[in-house]
């Protein structure tokens, strides 16, 4: 038998080609009995369905949305918070039938993906605002939702209250009597190491908001923090930054970290260097990933709900796609999700 087409199935069942097409693309237009006969014939003939590319051209829909990630695609699988965030997106998208495609914002490959991959819309997750991949997605005039990005008048956005979270973390260690406080922050630009003037730090929305929150509380308490910038925020970065801080002539007694992963590296370095956490060094993370409660000691941190963020972002994108298709002038959504301080055993009163 030659290539099986919609017409082949139509001839077998004795219906029109359009009826067979509806069985695949518009099943609500047929009775359950008729659709069952068509699908059984398709299965018998070995037909797997309409060509996705052709269907996209015919319907004007790719059936896929993208997530533009901050760096490499491996981040989605290695970072606990990113995994929770993506899980929330998948959960929200499941009833819609939309598939999820991961895109990287780094290098030439990122630009090619953003330019060429068929998409109905995309989530922009904690990306460099000057990324060429992000520029391509905007040039395609796709429905976009910004996540952990500076809010925009052009797109819906979903953020957490990073500023308040940083304030809560700083208030906690100041309330414990700490005065020698360090901050380990992440960035994508500039040199690694000690930063003389943290108010000049450039970077994304999340970095700026957290730095603002930390400095507001510490400045009000008359504290001039020691700030270390790292170019990523994993455990290795925290280990390196802690080794630098603990080697100073007057080391800090408390460290505020950009993420739980960074905090894990700090605790690891402290143990390696014979510094007790929390007796000699209190450590505060940010995110409250599962690792935080499993650490020794369990980590004091700022909790944000990654799954809820993913669900909110996906719902906002589905709404943006619907607005785009219908030409609706419904208002954009700018959501800011709450955070909370979770106190565990990695912090204690200052000596």
Instruction: Tell me, yes or no, whether 166 and 155 share the same domain.
Output: no
Q: Is 55 a member of any domain?
A: no
Q: Is 336 a member of any domain?
A: yes
> What integer is the mean pLDDT of 153-177?
97
pLDDT digits (tens, 9 = 90+) for 299-340: 999 999 999 999 999 999 999 999 998 888 888 999 999 999
Q: Is 350 a member of any domain?
A: no
Q: Is 263 a member of any domain?
A: yes
Instruction: Tell me, yes or no, whether 135 and 175 share the same domain.
Output: no
Bridge-based pairing of strands 340-342 and 301-303 is antiparallel
Instruction: Tell me, yes or no, whether 296 and 206 share the same domain.
Output: yes
Model confidence, pTM: 0.82
Residue located via tokens 């380990």? 184
pLDDT of residue 26: 75
User: How many angstroms separate the CA atoms of 33 and 170, rounded?
Assistant: 65
Parent domain of 71: 64-160+306-340
Instruction: Tell me, yes or no, whether 24 and 146 share the same domain.
Output: no
Residues 121, 343 contacting (CB under 8 angstroms): no
Tell me the two tokens of residue 120: 């109905």
Domain CATH number, residue 141: 3.40.50.2300
Instruction: Tell me, yes or no, whether 42 and 90 share the same domain.
Output: no
Element (H, E) at 217: helix 205-220
Residues 176, 182 contacting (CB under 8 angstroms): no
- Torsion on CA atoms 222, 224, 225, 230, rounded to nearest 10: 140
pLDDT of residue 97: 85
Q: Is 347 a member of any domain?
A: no
Alpha helices, DSSP H, located in 94-161: 107-116, 132-139
> What integer is the mean pLDDT of 159-184?
98
Q: Is 56 a member of any domain?
A: no
Q: Is the peptide bond before 269 cis (omega within 30 degrees of 0)?
A: no
Tell me the CA distances in angstroms from 3 to 15, 48, 58, 321, one per residue in order: 19, 11, 21, 35
Give bridge partners of residue 334 from the DSSP assignment.
Answer: 157
DSSP three-state, residue 297: coil
User: What interhelical angle do 306-326 and 80-93 show, nearest 10?
Assistant: 40
Answer whether residue 61 shows pLDDT above 80: no
User: How many angstroms separate the CA atoms of 144 and 300, rounded?
Assistant: 34
Give the residue, 27 or 188, on which the prediction is more confident: 27
Q: What is the number of structural domains in the chain?
A: 3
- Torsion on CA atoms 50, 51, 57, 63, rounded to nearest 10: 80
Q: Is 346 a member of any domain?
A: no
Instruction: Tell me, yes or no, whether 324 and 295 share the same domain.
Output: no
Instruction: Tell me, yes or no, whether 204 and 287 share the same domain.
Output: yes
Instruction: Tell me, yes or no, whether 156 and 170 share the same domain.
Output: no
Residues 254, 308 contacting (CB under 8 angstroms): no
Domain CATH number, residue 24: 1.10.260.40
Instruction: Tell me, yes or no, whether 174 and 150 share the same domain.
Output: no
Q: Is 135 a member of any domain?
A: yes
Instruction: Tell me, yes or no, whether 117 and 150 share the same domain.
Output: yes
Instruction: Tell me, yes or no, whether 151 and 212 share the same domain.
Output: no
Where does the pLDDT of residue 289 fall: very low under 50, low under 70, confident under 90, or very high at 90 and above? Answer: very high
pLDDT digits (tens, 9 = 90+) for 16-59: 989 988 887 777 788 989 989 998 998 888 886 665 555 554 55
């Amino acid at each position: 038998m030659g290539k099986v087409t919609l017409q082949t199935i139509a001839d077998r069942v004795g219906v029109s080609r359009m009826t067979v097409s509806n069985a695949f693309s518009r099943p609500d237009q047929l009775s359950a009995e008729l659709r069952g006969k068509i699908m059984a014939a398709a299965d018998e003939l070995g037909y797997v369905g309409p060509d996705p590319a052709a269907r996209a051209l015919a319907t004007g829909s790719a059936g896929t949305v993208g997530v533009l990630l901050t760096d490499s695609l491996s981040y989605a699988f290695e970072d606990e918070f990113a995994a929770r965030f993506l899980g929330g997106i998948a959960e929200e998208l499941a009833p819609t039938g939309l598939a999820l495609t991961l895109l990287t914002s780094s290098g030439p490959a990122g630009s090619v993906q953003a330019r060429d991959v068929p998409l109905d819309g995309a989530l922009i997750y904690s990306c460099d605002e000057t990324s060429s991949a992000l520029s391509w997605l905007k040039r395609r005039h796709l429905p976009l939702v910004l996540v952990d990005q500076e809010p925009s008048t052009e797109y819906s956005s979903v953020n957490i209250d990073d500023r308040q979270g940083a304030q809560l973390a700083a208030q906690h260690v100041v309330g414990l009597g700490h005065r020698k406080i360090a901050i380990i922050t992440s960035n994508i630009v500039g040199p690694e190491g000690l930063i003389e003037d943290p108010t000049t730090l450039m970077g994304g929305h999340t970095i700026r908001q957290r730095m603002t929150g930390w400095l507001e509380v510490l400045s009000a308490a008359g504290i001039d923090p020691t700030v270390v910038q790292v170019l990523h925020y994993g455990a290795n970065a925290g280990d390196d930054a802690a080794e630098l801080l603990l080697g100073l002539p007057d080391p800090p007694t408390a460290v505020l970290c950009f993420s739980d992963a960074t905090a894990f590296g700090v605790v690891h370095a402290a143990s390696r260097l014979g510094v007790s956490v929390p007796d000699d060094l209190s450590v505060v993370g940010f995110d409250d990933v599962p690792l935080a409660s499993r650490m020794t000691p369990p980590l004091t941190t700022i909790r944000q709900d990654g799954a809820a963020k993913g669900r909110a972002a996906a719902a906002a994108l589905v709404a943006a796609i619907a607005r785009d298709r219908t030409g609706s002038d419904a208002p954009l959504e700018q959501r800011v999700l709450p955070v909370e301080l979770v106190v565990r055993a990695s912090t204690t009163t200052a000596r």
